[in-house]
Amino acid sequence: MNDEKIKVRATESGQELDVVVLTKRADRIEIVLGAGVHSVRCELSPTRTGAAYVGRALGREIVYERSRDQVRADIERLDPKLRNTRWR
């Protein structure tokens, strides 16, 4: 099983973390910080301008510095079948 990993930045410390992606959509990205029993789920939502994704985990702000358009392109690149589907 290949887990997709992305780099996020903790704004307070500036530290970059590799996290595992659970689900990735243009309007929301769910990630897991840590591993095992000490793992924490976090939901990243796009900012108002759509320039980045922001979320909070354990009181800390986490930023994924890719735009909504870049994430949409990543999703299409990973699974091109999703491009032409329409949800009803």
Distance CA 74, CA 69 (A): 9
State the DSSP H helix or E strand holding residue 69, giving kind and residue range, or none if neither.
helix 68-78
- Per-residue confidence (pLDDT) for residue 29, from 0 to 100: 97
The mean of the pLDDT values for the chain is: 90
Give the pLDDT mean for 39-45. 96
What tens digit of pLDDT does each residue of 49-78 get? Answer: 999 999 999 899 999 999 999 999 999 988
Using DSSP's 3-state secondary structure scheme, residue 81 falls into helix
Domain boundaries, the chain: 5-84
